[in-house]
Amino acid sequence: MPRPLRIEYEHAWYHVMNRGAHRQTIFTSNSHRDLFLSLLEEVTSQYQVEIHAYCLMDNHYHLLIRTPLANLSRCMRHLNGVYVQHYNRSTKSDGPLFRGRYKAILVEEDGYVLSVSRYIHLNPVSAKICHKPNQYKWSSYIAYLNKENMPSWLHSSYILNQMMGDDPRKSYLQFVSQGVDQITQDFYDKKQKGSIMGSDDFITKHLNGLSEQYRCAVATDVNRTKILPTPDIIMHCTAMHFSITTKELMKSQWGKKNTARLITIYLLRSLAHIPHSEIASYFGNLKSTSIGSLLLRCKKLAQLDPVFIQHIDQISLLIKHTAC
């Protein structure tokens, strides 16, 4: 069965989540949290996405995003990729940070976006970190209650405009204080959450636009072993297999290190479907025009050299277990 297809269209709404690999902490200091918020500001400018709510927990994050340009995948690749690079550099670590690709739930605008914002803002309360959501610093809830705390890149007007009464901020506080509604709670309590949240008509409309096999994948939300591994997971697992560091993996050398480099390029393309230009960017001395010939060389080696294909099989298995 294929991986769930990202449903992308202009002005789509998404609840985006990502969790640390093996539930590890992804924000070990306030400086990491500040960095992540600065990257949110960066992607709103660079990709013209709208951040309507966020919550940064110790080992995962939640975002409520609207994409006027239908570019969620590009935005999230940049956000997660740049954050991992800075995180690993600051902690002197050398491995995958996230458990895999982010989870993105397509959300129907009418009747559902408001409830998702409440669910996101109540996450610290649900986790018993605090008694009230306004006691938690690392979410957008405080900004919703007080415009003086509102960063310029955070969009609150859509949510607040849904509120009744003369004071939309006070109305939103009352709305959140009511707790998560049962329909929303039931959706998120499922072990395998759906990839679409909305009315039957909304779900049917977007499923009907997919091929039969992708429709099944999205409808059942296949497990993470079917989801594309991130580039840092591929690099980490390849380096681990060959008992070298990821820095050594990036260099052009003879012997096993060169084989490791070739296999990394092959897996970035075959497992993660990374474009040639992006693969080249991971290796400082490679041009995107060279990637095609290197991939052909890998395919020939896979056909002629049983040891080479054995390396690929073993690393692929390691990647599968790491991304779970």
Domain boundary among 226, 245, 279: 226
Could you tell me if residue 6 is inside a domain? Answer: no
Q: Is the pLDDT of residue 243 over 80?
A: yes
Could you tell me if residue 4 is inside a domain? Answer: no
pLDDT value, residue 221:
44
Q: Quick one: 177 and 32 in the same domain?
A: yes
Q: Quick one: 214 and 292 in the same domain?
A: no
Q: Residues 66-119: pLDDT tens digits?
A: 999 999 999 999 999 999 999 999 998 877 899 888 999 999 998 899 999 999
pLDDT value, residue 82:
94
Q: What percent of the chain lies above the pLDDT cut of 90?
A: 50
Q: Quick one: 179 and 293 in the same domain?
A: no
pLDDT value, residue 214:
54
CATH number, domain at 252? 1.10.1750.10
- Per-residue pLDDT band for 148 (boundaries 50, 70, 90) equals confident
Q: Quick one: 160 and 108 in the same domain?
A: yes
CATH number, domain at 79? 3.30.70.1290
Domain boundary among 183, 199, 226: 226
Q: Quick one: 44 and 71 in the same domain?
A: yes
Q: Which residue has the tokens 């800075």?
A: 86
Residue range(s) defining the domain that contains residue 105: 12-226
Q: Is the pLDDT of residue 132 over 90?
A: yes
CA dist list (Å): 150 to 1, 65, 323 = 44, 16, 35
Q: Which residue has the higher pLDDT, 271 or 255?
A: 271
Q: For the chain, what is the domain count?
A: 2
Q: Residues 186-202: pLDDT tens digits?
A: 999 987 777 889 888 88
Q: Quick one: 216 and 89 in the same domain?
A: yes
Q: Which residue has the tokens 């390691």?
A: 318
Could you tell me if residue 236 is inside a domain? Answer: yes
Q: Residues 199-238: pLDDT tens digits?
A: 888 887 877 666 555 555 555 443 333 456 778 888 888 9
Mean pLDDT of the chain: 86
